[in-house]
Amino acid sequence: MKQQSISNTISRLLMGSLVLIPLFSFHLRPERLTLPDTAPRRVEKTEAEWKKLLTPQQFYVTRQHGTERAFTSPLADNHEAGTFHCVCCHEPLFRSTTKFESGTGWPSFYAPISRQIVKELKDTTYGMVRTEVQCAVCDAHLGHVFEDGPAPTGLRYCINGVALEFIKK
């Protein structure tokens, strides 16, 4: 829903700029006409294509909404400086500066690199109401976000380590 209203706002802004561009184009330098790059790129593949690219565990978690066993990912304990990317499309999703020790056994972050890069969806499986987190570029299931995280956001992005690849700084 939030994503929907953001895209509505963006389209309204874009439509507004398209109306204004012809009026003001004589006064603007060419680079001012470039529209902001707010929408993430898209990567779309078939299930068979993903299966070929990913390990069985990566495929199960990211494409079939699986959950890795707690304390099994080496990334849960990784406190090196760097960036965590989507294992499917390689988009940078989280920075090590927002990672914290949650004690859950899954890599935990208080914020993604940008709000546009992760999608949040309502998940009512297993008799719980949770907020699922997906990669906005390729729809990979990453994990869930909870409202019991540390400052400054109060959010806890609880992410499957197998859905991430770590690029050291």
**Residues in the chain, how many?**
169
Q: Least Å distance between CB 24 and Zn ion?
A: 37
Q: Which is nearer to Zn ion, 14 or 50 (CB)?
A: 50
Question: Using the rule CB under 5 A, which residue among 54, 76, 118, 137 binds Zn ion?
Answer: 137
Question: Could you tell me which residues are beta bridge partners of residue 94?
Answer: 84
Asked about 158 being catalytic, the answer comes back as yes
Q: Which is nearer to Zn ion, 137 or 162 (CB)?
A: 137
Is residue 165 within 8 Å of 89, Cβ to Cβ?
Answer: no
Other C-beta atoms lying within 10 Å of the C-beta of residue 141: 23
CB 162 within 8 A of CB 150: no
- Tell me if 87 contacts Zn ion by CB under 5 A: no
**Total residues contacting Zn ion (rule CB under 5 A)?**
7
Task: Copy the structure tokens of residue 92.
Answer: 């940078």
**54, 61, 76, 88: which one contacts Zn ion (CB under 5 A)?**
88
Q: Are 159 and 108 in contact (CB under 8 A)?
A: yes
Contact between 142 and Zn ion per CB under 5 A: no
What minimum distance in Å lies between the beta carbon of 133 and Zn ion?
11
- Which position among 118, 138, 155, 159 is part of the footprint of Zn ion (CB under 5 A)? 138
> Which among 130, 135, 100 has a CA at the least distance from the CA of 114?
135
* Contacts to Zn ion by CB under 5 A: 86, 88-89, 135, 137-138, 140
